[in-house]
Structure 1
Amino acid sequence: MNGILKALNMIGMLGLVLIFALPFAWMISTSLKTLPETMIFPPEWIPNDPQWQNFIQAWNSGPFLHYFFNSVLIAGGILILQMLTMIPAAYAFARFQFPGSGILFGFVMVTLMIPSQLIFLPVYLQLSSWHLLNTHMGLILPFASSAFGIFLLRQSFKQVPEELIEAARLDKAKEWKIMWKLMIPMARPALITIALFSFISHWNDYFWPLVMTTNETARTLPLGIAKIRETEGVATWNILMAANLILVVPILIVFFFAQRSIIKAFVYNGVK
């Protein structure tokens, strides 16, 4: 019986791997094909003559270096601001009892249920009144904090034994030092997980940059890739897939280095 359950479990895991891996494999395959090969039915998975120049053509189809720089600047700026706001907030919610703390934390959780598309208009009007359209700051400020990050980090901070914190306070350590020297190192897996989720979310974001930009000044890679069809004039799927692969590679690199920390964050800290 145990052998059958293990076999079924293995089949299930292989099925999940195929579900998630096949689209990515198809993207790689298409990015190396000629345009006629992308139209063949039934489709062929292995290109007859890999077209590596598709990546060069995709990169040269627009100011991709400019888009890449904007994506790095915006995703990195958001990440820095989120860390500066989330860490003190999570520490306060995890380790201090003050009047209204439960209500305030409830408000933070409620924001998780509100889609960003629902409030984009008032946010857009406010940023427009501050003359932040077509600026990097206009794409960064609305995401200066993260309710999910505060929640996950609070859960991680609550796992730290109270005795360690009391010992630090007996040594006359100030709260900021306890947070920086004790809490943050112990919550490293959760911090890396939050950073990865934030980076992926804003690296791939299409909606908000589309709303906030009308020229090339602050546009990011997803918008640049969307413009390839306009530039080429036809549905050049091989070039589009090459451009999308360029977009995905930084995410894969970051995930490769952060995967162990993600596992630790959910296995040891848990979302309770």
Structure 2
Amino acid sequence: MLQLLFFTSAFWMILSCHPPLDKEHTHDLLEVIALPKELNECSGMIQLDKNSFVALNDGGNKPILYAFDLTPDHETRKIKIDSVENNDWEDLTKDEDYIYIGDTGNNGGTRQNLMIYKVRKSDMMRQDEVVPEKIKFRYEGQTKFNDSNRHNFDCEAIVSVGDSLFLFTKNRGDLMTDVYGIPKIPGSYLARKLKSFDAQGLITGADYRSDHSKSELVLIGYNEKGHQYHPFLIHFTNFSGTDFFGGLSERITIDQQLQSESVFFNGDHKVYISNEENKNEKGYVYEVSL
């Protein structure tokens, strides 16, 4: 039975508004390194520590995480996530003790088995096969599950904050992004819609960080024009708590055609992004200044 998810009053104060962008810029990419050959459809990546990274491939591939470093001769270690399938893995996020795998891709809007897998970091670092805990969810407001390319219930971007996971949707219907929240505790949940933002494109990845002085959120996405992908970042700052869209926002257009799928902070004023390999573009890690 679905557990009805209740949030604190602070969450309810941030419901459903569509704040505008504050700034817009265009930036170039700095190529860092080619992705390991195993990651030909890299859809999500996180940084575990200064020299250690974990990534996953998109849906239809094996249920495997890939651990590696960003050196030219990097060795790649495979960690099988046991007893599950990669229906449509899309993003990774983490906290101090766990990694969360988002099996949240929902291209046609038909899925009724949306899932986030929870894996203990210490198990993953010691073992080549791990059994995950499961966090099941469905979206508040989704009542139809017929195949459509104009719906707002796909998700490729997840962040971890406190005791909750926050999902940012990839809206083919209105090109906005909606943020939903669910607990990190294994179970089945109704994900409540908290707020919306006019992304003006398709959101495909996210990262969050916070210290005593500030919190930041970055979203990555792209616009499709014909068979070309035009990537962008949206950087959110000066917000309070998990009111991600309540502060300042800056849109950074990337001056290169890439199917951009993942993003994470690296340093004070930069992020790393990655792209899916295709016939015209190999998979790389790139640096972008904020």
TM-score class, shorter-chain normalisation, is: under 0.3
Rg bigger for which structure? 1
Q: Which has the higher contact order (CA 8 A, sep 6+)?
A: 1
Q: Decide which structure has greater helix share.
A: 1
